[in-house]
């Protein structure tokens, strides 16, 4: 065997021996009886403190609890409100405030009145007022102390509003701070049905299609008469003059003059002494000049045609513009659904939510802490999830439009204060549930907002609520 191979084998044996010697101390020392004994289960506390044997692989990370907030759900409030319209000729409402709890509750009930109306009958110790800086119309306010498990009925009657239309008056019950609502309800009073008078049709001479047809007929008749008159005044083609017949003998002087032949020199008494007169061929008479229609007829027809075209174009454009609806939002492209506009207390539906704005109040004292440099407007808004899943919404998509055209988004910090520190936009709205929330808008200037725009998502057309 070569020397190099012997050296390699010797070196391999030495390395293996050194490996065995180094591994023997790491083996666990097990006694024969300990190995034969049945192992006893360790108590839970000892198992929890046991250190796992290192295997060289990283241990699995501990389970991390989900951080998604729970959806908002409206709990049963201590005070509930129910509103019904009275069946009277004048607008009237019946309000029932119920305390289902075992203890008395103090509450403030507010009913918003439509613009142009005033309360004539108020029961239960309420009074009609107009809040300073309020964006809405007048309101009726009650301060009540409800006994345990009791129901209080309030009645109001209005005047000054138009009785031939529907009138909505929302009502809310608030806590002692006057900002967080317990419950809200709304009802719409509809006046007695009045038979609709039949609108008489406009006379024929006032209908645009009839006028246009008459104008067209007048233009046609006028053009025909002018053309006929022009043809009548136009002379016929000139006939060619025929040549004179040859004459025999000597013509007289008169005949020569009539034929256009000068008298022959030396003639006496118009008679020639000698010679024969040869006739000249007659010159053809010049044809008559072609006559044109008078300029006044041409200008009259042109003016009539121009007036007819302009009138037809104007009528068509007016009809198309009148048929346009500028309040509709596009139903294709980025928008989902149609934008709906309504008044206070009217439920308005969009793609995911049903919004109802019950009240909007602006001015000092609306919230305990007002934002610097602005005036706060507090809106009481009901949100109902119409879908089968949880829905989230964002404060920057809820806007208040000012009279000048500018708008402001929800003041999220002030809204959190109004909701006792709860971020209502961080929690989704549960499927099929309804929540009642105060939203705060910080505006600059003395004019309150005239319209609120609410939407569930970026691509939703949303709803618009007129608050003035």
pLDDT digits (tens, 9 = 90+) for 229-256: 777 766 555 444 444 444 444 445 444 4
**H/E run at residue 110:** strand 105-112
- Residue 122 in 3-state DSSP? strand
Note the pLDDT tens digit of each residue in 413-433. 999 999 988 899 988 999 989
Residues 79-189, CATH architecture: Sandwich (2.60)
pLDDT at 34: 40
Per-residue confidence (pLDDT) for residue 44, from 0 to 100: 44
Kindly write down the DSSP assignment for every residue of 132-175, as one continuous string: TTBSS--EEEEEEEEPTTEEEEEEEEEESS-TTS-EE--EEEE-
Segment 110-124 shows an average pLDDT of: 88
- Please provide the DSSP assignment of 198-257 as one string: PPPPPPGGG-HHHHHHHHHHHHHHHHHHHHHHHHHHSPPPPPPPPPPPP--SPPPHHHHH
Query: Residue 181 pairs with which residues in a beta bridge?
Result: 174
CATH for 340-466?
A: 2.60.40.1240
What integer pLDDT is reported at residue 257 of this predicted model?
46
List all residues 6 or more positions away from 266 whose beta carbon is below 8 Å from its beta carbon: 272, 273
What b-and-e string marks burial along 355-379, b requiring 16 or more CB atoms within 10 Å of the CB?
bbbbbbbbbeebbeebeeeebbbbb
Q: What residues are paired with 361 via a beta bridge?
A: 134, 378
pLDDT at 454 over 60: yes
Helix, strand, coil percentages for the chain (3-state, nearest 5): 25, 25, 50
Mean pLDDT, range 353-374, rounded to an integer: 73
| pLDDT tens per residue, range 345-362 | 999 999 899 999 999 998
Cα-flanking dihedrals φ and ψ of residue 44, to 5°? -60, -40
Residue 331's pLDDT is 43
pLDDT value at residue 117:
84
Beta strand pairing status for 127-129 and 139-146? antiparallel
DSSP 8-state code for residue 461: -
* DSSP result, 51-74: PPPP-SSPPPPPPPPP-PPPPB-P
Report how far residue 218's alpha carbon sits from residue 212's, in angstroms, rounded to the nearest whole number.
10
Residues of the chain with CATH 2.60.40.1240: 340-466
Q: Where in the sequence of the chain do the CATH 2.60.40.1510 domains occur?
A: 79-189
| Spatial separation of the C-alpha atoms in residues 309 and 440, rounded to whole Å | 57
pLDDT tens per residue, range 56-110:
444 445 554 556 677 766 667 889 999 999 888 889 999 999 999 999 999 999 9
Residue 130 has pLDDT above 80, yes or no: no
Across all residues in the chain, what is the average pLDDT?
Answer: 74
d(CA 422, CA 442): 19
**Residue 383 or residue 265, greater confidence:** 383
Residue 260 per-residue DSSP state: T
Band of pLDDT at residue 384, cut at 50, 70 and 90: very high
Predicted pLDDT of residue 9: 74
What pTM did the predictor assign? 0.58
In angstroms, the CA 250 to CA 263 distance is: 11
Higher pLDDT, 217 or 52: 217
Q: Is the distance from CB of 154 to CB of 126 less than 8 angstroms?
A: yes
- Report d(CA 148, CA 271) in Å as an integer: 154
Q: Is 65 exposed, middle or buried (0-12, 13-18, 19+ CB in 10 A)?
A: exposed
């Amino acid at each position: 065997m070569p020397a190099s191979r012997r050296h390699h084998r010797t070196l391999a044996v030495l390395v293996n021996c050194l490996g065995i010697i180094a591994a023997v101390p790491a083996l666990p020392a097990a006694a024969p009886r300990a190995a034969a004994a049945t192992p006893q289960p360790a108590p839970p506390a000892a198992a929890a403190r046991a250190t796992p044997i290192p295997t060289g692989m990283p241990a699995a990370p501990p389970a991390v609890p989900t951080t998604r907030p729970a959806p908002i759900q409206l709990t049963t409030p201590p005070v509930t409100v129910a509103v019904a319209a009275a069946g009277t000729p004048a607008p009237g409402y019946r309000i029932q405030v119920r305390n289902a709890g075992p203890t008395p509750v103090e509450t403030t009930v507010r009913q918003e009145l439509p613009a142009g109306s005033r309360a004539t009958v108020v029961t239960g110790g309420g009074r009609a007022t107009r809040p300073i800086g309020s964006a809405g119309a007048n309101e009726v306010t009650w301060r009540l102390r409800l006994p345990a498990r009791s129901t209080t009925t309030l009645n109001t009657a209005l005047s000054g509003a138009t009785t031939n239309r529907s009138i909505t008056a929302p009502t809310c019950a608030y806590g002692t701070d006057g900002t967080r609502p317990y419950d809200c309800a709304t009802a719409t009073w509809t006046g007695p049905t009045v038979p609709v008078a039949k609108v008489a049709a406009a006379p024929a001479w006032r209908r645009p299609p009839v006028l246009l047809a008459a104008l067209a007929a007048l233009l046609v008749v006028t053009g025909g008469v002018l053309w006929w008159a022009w043809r009548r005044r136009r002379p016929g083609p000139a006939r060619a003059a025929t040549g004179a017949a040859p004459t025999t003998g000597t013509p007289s002087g008169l005949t020569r003059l009539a034929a256009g032949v000068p008298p022959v020199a030396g003639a006496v008494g118009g008679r020639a002494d000698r010679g024969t007169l040869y006739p000249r061929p007659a010159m053809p008479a010049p044809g008559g000049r072609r006559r044109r229609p008078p300029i006044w007829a041409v200008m009259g027809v042109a003016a009539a045609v121009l007036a007819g075209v302009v009138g037809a174009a104007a009528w068509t454009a007016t009809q198309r513009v009148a048929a346009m609806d500028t309040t509709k939002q596009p139903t294709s492209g980025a928008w989902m659904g149609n934008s709906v506009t309504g008044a206070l207390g009217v439920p308005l539906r969009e793609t995911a939510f049903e919004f109802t704005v019950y009240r909007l109040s602006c001015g000092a004292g609306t919230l305990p802490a007002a934002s610097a440099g602005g005036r706060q407007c507090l809106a009481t808004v009901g949100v109902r999830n119409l879908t089968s899943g949880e829905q989230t919404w964002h404060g920057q998509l809820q806007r208040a439009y000012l009279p000048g055209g500018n708008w402001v988004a929800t003041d999220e910090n002030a809204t959190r204060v109004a909701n006792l520190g709860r971020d209502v936009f961080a929690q989704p709205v549960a499927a099929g549930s309804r929540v009642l929330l105060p939203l705060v808008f910080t505006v600059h200037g003395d004019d309150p907002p005239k319209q609120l725009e609410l939407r569930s998502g970026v691509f939703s057309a949303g709803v618009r609520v007129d608050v003035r």
